[in-house]
Amino acid sequence: MALIQIIVNSLIIGSLYALVACGFSLIYSTNKFMHFAHGISVVIASYLFYLSLNTLKINFIISILLVLILTGLFGIFMYKVFYGPLQKRKSSNIVLLIASVGILILFENMIMLVFGTTVKTINSDLTKSIEFSSFIITPLQIIIIVTSLILLLLLYLLMKKTKIGRNMRAVSDNKELASIIGIDYKKVSYYSFFIGSLLAGIAGIFIALEQTLEPTIGTNLIVKGFTGSIIGGITSVPGSILGSYILGIAENFGIWYLSSGYKDAIAFTLLFLFLLFKPHGILGINKGIKK
Amino acid sequence: MLEIKNLHSGYNGLEILEGIDININEKEIIALIGPNGAGKSTVIKSIFNIANVTSGEILFNEKNITKLKTYELMKLGISYVSQGRINFNNLSVKENLEIGNDNIDKATKDQRINYVYDLFPVLKEKKNKLAFTLSGGQQQMLAIGRALIQKPKLLLLDEPSLGLSPLLQKELFKTIEKLRDLGLTILIVEQNAKKAIQIADRTYLLEDGKIALTGGKDILKHKKIKNIYLGGRY
Ligand SMILES: Nc1ncnc2c1ncn2[C@@H]1O[C@H](COP(=O)(O)OP(=O)(O)OP(=O)(O)O)[C@@H](O)[C@H]1O
Ligand SMILES: [Mg+2]
């Protein structure tokens, strides 16, 4: 396999990780707790997509839009039903983290119950590979890379140029001050859960088309998304995106030089090393916060 | 303008203020001084409905505002600059001025931001810099600037001189007097009792959640205040 193929593969997987990681980090920075149940948004989206497209035979584009909106709303639902009441009772962030793992397992099992454990696939013309001289790629994979980059750019613009983005950055920066000056941080939480879950939903749709559907992909992806966030800096959305691509590259070089069995080992080694030596990540330096 | 009547207030069940009366007239600077933990910040937080008021009432222009929400208070013309981390460190100076104050239309807001830039030219110079790169004094100007965007009638300042050099403190107090001359009413909490008494029309000394002393500039001569000076700042 040529170097260029490794890079292409890294970009594909890195894009999927980045879609998961940026939402995770967005939710973390505005809410200050780790939403590990974020992984289930990916799974919900892929199963809803299967349901809409294969079972209900709804048009492809409409299915996508429908699934994304529902997944975003599912994010708000998780916040309202699980985290909101806990926060109201002033539960610590550790409690919220444990709850998030519980939510992940709960919904994973519910999906198994509803859809069964048999592997499901969605057939698509988009997965017929195109051969270039030095690498192979499918149209879907091109779409994955390009749309992810566009979406991540849009997210960046949303954060930098819009009022809601500015309010999200403000709440993430100084929640107490934000509420003193009249920013509704509940609303900011809803927005971050909606946007974050929607982006995870996009990853879910891509995965449904690219691979087979399994309830457990959520756990795998949130672990990778989390690793990407830690590498790049969990408090920084651009950082978590960068970290995700770095993780993608590291994994694919690992697969090439070692074997595919080492993929997860590489991810966990990186996670461990960063937690140990650079817990703020590459970009999450927490500028200006002197603790 | 502001009347605080027999205020009891604190934090979830813990009573800090045990019956406080404060009266503020229009275009006055009122200073609130006292030792650490006396409850000075709690007075301001009670006005802004962040602390938990258990009894008593707060009137603003004869209207009871004790239970009003933050944005309602801001709309009425009360702005608050808190103690501690007073700006959004990772937002630019300009963004720090723009944020909040959502009831104001963009044109008016831009106009008022320019007014703040006129008042504190250094903020204009640094408008695209992130707030954490500002010096302590500039940070205070930024926070006060943001409070002014609302065009408040009453400005609540919690220890604005904290961490400033004596020179910057002097400048800050001049600014506060200037704001008063421009028509603002100001309640200022200060550790620097002497300076505060000097610029204030009246001063309240708070000790253990009660008003221990009140008076004009002449209270500088009071035994209690003099004792404080033996220990320098509170
Ligand atoms: N959010 C809070 N929850 C519980 N207790 C609080 C809270 N904020 C302050 N207190 C307590 O209330 C008391 C008065 O605090 P306050 O901040 O009003 O004092 P202060 O006079 O402003 O002091 P300083 O000069 O140090 O700012 C203190 O004993 C403090 O521990
Ligand atoms: Mg205080």
Asked, for residue A242, whether it belongs to a domain, the answer is no
Is residue B160 in contact with ligand 1, taking CB distance under 6 Å?
Answer: no
**Structure token digits, residue B150:** 């609302």
Query: Roughly what angle, to the nearest 10 degrees, separates helices A217-232 and A3-31?
Result: 80
Asked, for residue A167, whether it belongs to a domain, the answer is yes
Asked, for residue A250, whether it belongs to a domain, the answer is no
ipTM value: 0.83
Q: What percent of chain A has pLDDT over 70?
A: 97
Q: Is the dihedral of CA B181, B186, B191, B194 positive or negative?
A: positive
List pLDDT tens digits, range A210-262: 988 988 899 999 999 999 999 999 888 899 999 999 999 999 998 888 887 88
* A7 closest CA partner among A210, A131, A145, A129: A145
Identify the weakest region by mean pLDDT among A77-81, A93-97, A251-255, B216-220. B216-220
Asked, for residue A249, whether it belongs to a domain, the answer is no
**Which residues in chain A touch residue B99, judged by CB atoms under 8 angstroms apart?**
166-167, 170, 181, 183
Mean pLDDT confidence for A91-109 = 94
Q: What is the 3-state secondary structure (H, E, C) of chain A?
A: CCHHHHHHHHHHHHHHHHHHHHHHHHHHHHHCCCCCCHHHHHHHHHHHHHHHHHHCCCCHHHHHHHHHHHHHHHHHHHHHHHHHHHHHCCCCHHHHHHHHHHHHHHHHHHHHHHHCCCCECCCCHHHCCEECCCCEECHHHHHHHHHHHHHHHHHHHHHHHCHHHHHHHHHHHCHHHHHHCCCCHHHHHHHHHHHHHHHHHHHHHHHHHHCCECCCHHHHHHHHHHHHHHHHCCCCHHHHHHHHHHHHHHHHHHHHHCCHHHHHHHHHHHHHHHHHHCCCCCCCCCCCCCC
CA distance B22 to A277: 54
pTM of the model: 0.87
Asked, for residue A112, whether it belongs to a domain, the answer is yes
Residues spanned by the domain of A119: 14-218
Smallest CA–CA separation between B91 and chain A, in Å? 7
For residue A287, name the pLDDT band (cuts at 50, 70, 90): very low
Asked, for residue A283, whether it belongs to a domain, the answer is no
Asked, for residue A237, whether it belongs to a domain, the answer is no
pLDDT at position B234: 47
Between chains, do B100 and A166 touch, taking CB under 8 Å as contact?
no
DSSP summary character for residue B192: -
* B208 closest CA partner among B14, B40, B49: B40
Between chains, do B70 and A179 touch, taking CB under 8 Å as contact?
yes
pLDDT at position A288: 41
How many domains does one find in chain A?
1
Is residue B203 in contact with ligand 1, taking CB distance under 6 Å?
Answer: no
Interface of A with B in 183-212 (CB under 8 A): 183
A169: contact with B, CB 8 A cutoff: yes
List pLDDT tens digits, range B50-62: 899 999 999 999 9
Mean pLDDT confidence for A14-23 = 96
Protein residue with least CA distance to atom 29, ligand 1: B37
Q: For residue B233, is pLDDT > 80?
A: no
Asked, for residue A256, whether it belongs to a domain, the answer is no
